[in-house]
Amino acid sequence: MNKLIAFGISLLLVVGTTINTAVGHHGFSVEDIAKKAMSATMKSVDAICAATDFKDSCIKTLTPVANNASATPHDYLKAAFEVTAREVQIVLEKSGVIAKDAHGSIDKMAVEDCKELLQFAIDELQSAISMVGHHERHKAADLTAELKNWLSAVVSYQESCIDGFEHREVKRSMRDGLLNATQLTSNALTIIGEMSSILETLNINVGFNIKPRHQHHGQHGHHRHLNADDYPTWFAPSDRKLLALQESGRLAPSAVVAKDGSGQYKTIAEAISAYPKNSASRYVIYVKTGTYDEYITITKEKTNILMYGDGPTSTIITGHKSNRDGITTFQTASFSVIGDGFIGKSIGFENTAGPEGHQAVALRVQADRAAFFNCRMDGYQDTLYVQAHRQFYKNCAISGTIDFIFGDSSTLIQDSTIIIRRPLDNQQNTVTAQGKKLKGESTALVLQNCKIEPEPKLVPERLKIPSYLGRPWKEYAVTVIMESTIGDVIRPEGWLPWAGNFALDTLFYAEYNNVGPGANTNQRVKWKGFKVITNRDEALPFTAGPLLQGNEWLPETGIPVTLGLSH
């Protein structure tokens, strides 16, 4: 029987039993029967909202759905998303009022950033609504992973909007404006995560199991390569051998960029502008050796781009925008990726603002299912902004000083070199600053089989200048360092507080099976949220299979990937 029909029948049986009992034994009036029926349907609302942090708003949102006795789990989810989207739209429309109170260039720019970010949030919610509306096309586990992925991105965009403001009053105005939307997003994330137990509470067994399915590939840690017979529906047949051809030098790219005029275009921007509308195949851009001083954004509609160069120290995309220049962190990126399915290979991304520039992003990624192979990201503070969605980095080199890998995404960095640079005098280094704001989000930052080491310039002072694995940017920050080699550049305590006791009880920081002089955990911080993982099964959820649903898309990128643990 169809799961949704079964749910409707089960709920009707609950209501029907109530009515039959009332008429058969007590002779209640029609009004009494109606009240009994309403009580039965409201039981579902109470059950769904029980685990949420903002129960009143949850009940208010879902009560209209309960009036429909045949409502399904998907109806409740859809209602939760729709009301959240309406709230975000209201804030978007009111952003002009907040703009009047903006002070200086950064706050004014932050308002414009908010308009863009909140529109991204609405787009994500619309995608969630559409997916729930076509639930019959998706397995329950797929549905859960995708919905959590989109809603986690909504949270990231809301927080990115708020964080962009410099002045406290304007920041507070935007946070207050987004309060309802933030609470509703939190509720929606909880509902997704708790739906199985909700149905159990209602004694309704419809097989609606939305727990993430077991990742068979995650158990063994083997490598997967391009396989012409193993592709998801979104990966067009014509694309299947592109990366294999590129490896062999036989790939004919869609566009060639060369500063010396030997290609079709002299700038990367021109090649991206030539992206064909409504293209069903992957758009391949080859960027020849050279330093390209141009600010690039792969916009939302430009999906499934493969961009490759002649090597991360030969093909370099550079910029120098920084917070010091009155530019929001969001806008400092030399290269930004929004369009889903982006693959970057053998390219360097850098921001040359230096440590004096403070926040200065080299690469910002908010695209879903984005992957980078054999790339470099060089900067100082805030080098790599892993802003949202699912991201994978393999065989890369990432350098910086303060919070140089940061954001609120599901990101796995594998087999890469993490290079800690010399900061300004009286500064300290933090490799990561993960930004999970709500406990229901599915986001985490994981470094697996990486090397964490100082740049040559820092080596003489590496024991004097403090360096840490990370600090918690937001309340529920999740960061895991596993199977990596940690140099003595990292202090024995390992991790640094953000401010006082902020997030120390609610974060989840973990280390598993690391080696090297900086991997000794005997003197690590004693925070409630920090853990040394000793059980292999506890580490598996942070591998590429479970964390990124990587078995569904990473093999098709052509990038060799370890879907589970390395050892």
d(CA 82, CA 65) in angstroms, rounded, equals 12
CB atoms within 10 A of CB 302: 22
403 part of the active site = yes
Closest CA relative to residue 418, chosen from 429, 408, 407: 429
Per-residue DSSP letter, 254? S
d(CA 368, CA 383) in angstroms, rounded, equals 19
Coil, helix or strand for 492?
Answer: coil
Strand partners, 296: 335
Order across the sheet with 451-454: list the strands: 290-293, 315-319, 348-351, 376-378, 397-400, 417-420, 451-454, 485-486
Whole-Å CA distances, 553 to 230, 522, 549, 550, 557:
10, 39, 7, 6, 7
Considering Cα of 333, then 557, then 292, then 300, what sign does the dihedral take?
A: negative
Per-residue DSSP letter, 528? T
| Contacts with 228 (C-beta within 8 Å, 6 or more apart), sequence order | 240, 241
d(CA 211, CA 194) in angstroms, rounded, equals 9
User: Active-site residue among 378, 403, 408, 415?
Assistant: 403
Q: Which two tokens stand for residue 88?
A: 């975000």
d(CA 249, CA 55) in angstroms, rounded, equals 58
Coil, helix or strand for 372?
Answer: strand
Per-residue buried b or exposed e for 423-447, using 16+ beta carbons within 10 Å of the residue's own CB: beeeeebbbbbbbbbbebbbbbbbb
List, as one string, the DSSP characters of 395-464. Answer: S-EEEESEEEEEESSEEEEES-EEEEPP--TT--EEEEEE---STT---EEEEES-EEEE-TTTGGGTTT
First to last CA, the chain: 43
d(CA 281, CA 177) in angstroms, rounded, equals 41
List, as one string, the DSSP characters of 261-299. Answer: S-SSBSSHHHHHHTPPTT--S-EEEEE-SEEEE--EEE-
- For 564, phi and psi rounded to 5 degrees? -120, -145
d(CA 368, CA 337) in angstroms, rounded, equals 9
Instruction: Give the residue numbers marked as catalytic.
Output: 403
